[in-house]
A and B are shown apart, each in its own frame.
Chain A
Amino acid sequence: MRWRRRPDTLFRRVPDGVLVISLRGGGPLWLPAPGADVWDRLAAATTVDELVDALADELGTAGEAPSDLVRTGCLALLDELRAHGLVEEVEA
């Protein structure tokens, strides 16, 4: 399965992340980095493994985050975004 942004969303980049909102209701959500990086990558349908690899590569080079921690964070963020109607799962 792949994840992507729902088309019925709006967002604005801010200097410290991105603000997103669903057209179906609910308030705006602020995603500071690295959540904003995840949002950027979800412009195209992406697997969790691809997300984790890309983020671990970025964060891991600084020695800040092992990939299992990144995976846990990614899954939690995707769950939250889905609960707010901001992302959806699509067939691979």
Chain B
Amino acid sequence: VTRPLDATGAEPSPSGHALVATLAATGAPGTDAPVPPRPLDDARWSRFLRQVEGERLEPLLAHAASTGAWPVTDVQLAEALARGRRALALVLELERELIAVHDDLRAEGIPMRVLKGPAIARLDEEDPSCRAFGDIDVLVRPRDVRRAVAVVQARGGTRRYATRSAAYDRYVGKGVSFRFERNVEVDLHRTIAPGPFGIAVDLDELFARSQPVPVGPVTIQALDRPGRFLHACYHAALGRARPRRSAQRDIVLTAPLGDRDLDEVVARARRWRGELVVASAVTSVVDDLCWQPPGALASWVAEPRTRPASPRERRWLEAYRSDERSSRRLTLLGAGVGGGAARARYLVGLATGWPGARREVSGGRRRRSGTRG
């Protein structure tokens, strides 16, 4: 195909967002979004490229363009390949830091789980080169947060946000973000979401179920597949106002395939009070990526009576989705989760880390939450 798609409206053409969603669905099971019939014209291509970069889909575009799954001109193919290489060059630098952090944590006796990008790329993508990521996300147990922070700082990591208190890091915050040289960022996670849904996660259970993932010469533990799916849902539904398409693709790639897999996912989500989160995330991917989930999951999502949500959980979800969403409000809502000693610890963390707006330690743009996806 060599003739660019006419931008003057010779035939209906999808919006830029729809095009990016189509790209995000490329090669993912159960998706059926229509690919453009021929290459985009120059103006639309330029906009499309910017959006692709924002969604971290450059390597997927390079792969799709080079295999003929996405129509491009010769010039566009060269641009797509160059962007894909640039994104994957950063991926390699990030994975190198991942290995170093893993080795240093292990030397201190601190177990960890690698989250999202590196795990999804190597365990769930058919070709690891299709998945880009912009930082490294590592989960550590709450009791290890303080020591893990020291390990990452000893490696030269600089906290993106000033410390509130050690108790805040251990009992309240989602995690701690670090910046290294060469555009490398590492997020140490205590849990997988900010606010009440993150507090309600059984972190011992999340941590206990793991799957090994080889990264170069080392083997690192990731979450097991149900854990990866749940995390992908939490990330998509509770993170940015509009989730990245790459995050939605993660949901497709890790979705439970049969009744037994779904039962495990639902059981965990129920214990974590997160069924509403999972259903919301899956529904958004069905709408945005034209995804037909595996039968059991589709049936579960389509039948709300099988997953009753309390009014409190509905209020929580509204707080994440609200235009007035704030990390302060989500943190306060977290104080209403659980009881006994756990709640007391949370309140201590809150008291020692409150008030005080989170500020950048050194330069960079301000962000809504302490870690990024």
Residues of A within 8 A of B (CB): 7-16, 19-21, 23, 27-28, 30
CB–CB A14/B129 < 8 A: yes
Q: Which of B67, B88, B92, B217 has the largest count of A CB atoms less than 10 A from its CB?
A: B92
CB–CB A23/B88 < 8 A: no
* A10 and B65 alpha carbons, distance in the complex (Å): 25
Q: Quick one: which of A7, A8, A14, A21 contacts B62, CB cutoff 8 A?
A: A14
| B30 → chain A closest CB, angstroms | 25
* A74 and B152 alpha carbons, distance in the complex (Å): 40
CB–CB B81/A12 < 8 A: no
Other than A10-B216, A15-B81, give 9 A-B pairs with Cβ distance below 8 A: A7-B217, A14-B85, A15-B65, A15-B66, A15-B67, A19-B92, A21-B93, A21-B96, A28-B93
In the bound complex, residues from chain B placing their C-beta under 8 Å from that of A14 are 59, 62, 81, 84-85, 88, 129
**Can you list 21 residue pairs at the A/B interface with Cβ under 8 Å?**
A7-B217, A8-B216, A10-B92, A10-B96, A10-B99, A11-B92, A12-B128, A14-B59, A14-B62, A14-B84, A15-B63, A15-B65, A15-B66, A15-B81, A19-B89, A21-B93, A21-B96, A23-B100, A23-B216, A27-B182, A28-B88
- Top 9 nearest A-B pairs (CB, nearest first) are A15-B66, A28-B89, A21-B92, A10-B216, A12-B88, A7-B217, A28-B92, A12-B129, A16-B81
| B279 → chain A closest CB, angstroms | 35
Contact A13-B89, Cβ < 8 Å, known A8-B216, A8-B217: no
The total number of A-B Cβ pairs within 8 Å is 57
* A72 and B217 alpha carbons, distance in the complex (Å): 31
In the bound complex, residues from chain B placing their C-beta under 8 Å from that of A21 are 92-93, 96
* A16 and B62 alpha carbons, distance in the complex (Å): 9
In the bound complex, residues from chain A placing their C-beta under 8 Å from that of B66 are 15-16
Q: Is B201 an interface residue (CB 8 A)?
A: no
The residue on A at minimum CB distance from B62 is A15
* A7 and B215 alpha carbons, distance in the complex (Å): 11
Q: Which of A11, A19, A20 has the largest count of B CB atoms less than 10 A from its CB?
A: A19
In the bound complex, residues from chain B placing their C-beta under 8 Å from that of A30 are 85, 89
Q: Is B91 an interface residue (CB 8 A)?
A: yes
| B197 → chain A closest CB, angstroms | 34
* A58 and B66 alpha carbons, distance in the complex (Å): 22
In the bound complex, residues from chain A placing their C-beta under 8 Å from that of B81 are 14-16
Q: Is B79 an interface residue (CB 8 A)?
A: no
